[in-house]
Every structure is written in structure tokens, then in C-alpha cells.
Amino acid sequence: MSSLVHTSEFCKSVFDLGQLPGDGLPEIAFAGRSNVGKSSLMNRLLNRRNLVKVSSRPGFTQSLNFFLVNGRVYFVDLPGYGFARAPKHVIRQWHRLVDGYLEGSEYLRAVVCILDIRRRPDPLDLDLLEYLNSIGRSICVVLNKADKISQPKRKARLKEIGQVLPAFVSDIVVVSAKTGEGVPGLCSTLFSRVD
């Protein structure tokens, strides 16, 4: 559990850019491939078991979901990318919504890109990082599911992943949404972006 989070609450689901909060509070967005453990990690960060809906169904999150943390910062759950079983026009709509938010929000302080430590970043992951860098967004790469890989193998995995990630990626945090490993450090990193 993170002692830095005292209160957290769901605020709203945004399906259209005109519905953004607009109250001037800083925002931290969470992005990740479908089923990478994004919702579970957010719940762990928020000190709530089921505040962020967890689904085994890829593409479950279809809106920008805003969660108010400590009354002073929004954590924003973005739709997962890849695997979404939805009609093409719906997927295009998600892209417009997410791209419009990422490119246009003046309150967005950082984007947390969640990867699975067991898997090599693929073209979709790398495209997202390149895109975020190209629009000038601050990026924090989080390698989730650390509990699934033994300590002796971790160093080699980190080296392998580091060789694939673009040179501009400087923040890499290893966590386990399941056990809470690395979560307090991630929380500190994120709050340092909004202070």
C-alpha cells in the first residue's frame, strides 16, 4: 500500500473532450496494452481494491476515467491498446478521444506507460513511447508483474528491455500490482511530477 495516497475517488468517465474536468488540477495518465495489469496497478496505487474496474476482457475501458487522489491530482485511466474486440469505427473513436486528450490537455504532467516485465516491448509499445515523446509528454515506464519473474532473472530482463526502449526513456520503475513491490517508489515518482 502507498502511504502517500490518503483519499481516492472515482470522479467521471469522459467519452468526449468537452466533458474533461477543467478545474485546473494536474493529471497523470496511465496507458498500457490490454491486460497488462493497468487497472490492478491503479487500484494498488489508489489504496482501493476495486475502484478501477478490472476485467479479463481486453478493451474493457472505453473512456477516459478520472480518479481524484488526495483532492489535488487526477489519475486518468486510458483505454488499453491492442487486442480490443470492438468495431473499427469504435476503435477510431477511442483513438480520437485519447489522442485529443494526450495532445491537448494543459494539465497533463506525465504519462505512465505500463509494460509486462516478462515480455519484450513490441511495436505498439514502442510506437506509443515515440508518439508521447514527439508531443513533448513526460514519460514514466513501469514494468509490472515483477512477482512473475525470479530475482536472478530480473537483471537480464531489465537489460534486454532497456536495449529495446528508446534512448529518451530515463524513468523505469519495476513493480508488482499483486504484491505491492515498487509501488511506494512509483507513487513518490508520480507525486514529484505534480508538486
54 pLDDT above the threshold of 90 = no
Give the structural domain span for 180: 8-190
Q: Sorting pLDDT into bands at 50, 70 and 90, what band is 49?
A: confident
CATH number at residue 44: 3.40.50.300
What pTM, to 2 d.p., does this model score?
A: 0.90
User: CA gyration radius for the chain?
Assistant: 16
- Is 88 in a helix, a strand, or coil? helix
**Strand pairing class (73-77; 64-69):** antiparallel
Instruction: Assess if residue 2 is contained within a domain.
Output: no
Work out how many domains the chain is built from and give that number: 1
For 177, counting Cβ atoms within 10 Å of its Cβ (0-12 exposed, 13-18 middle, 19+ buried), the class is buried
pLDDT for the residue numbered 165? 97
Instruction: Assess if residue 55 is contained within a domain.
Output: yes
Instruction: Assess if residue 97 is contained within a domain.
Output: yes
Instruction: Assess if residue 183 is contained within a domain.
Output: yes
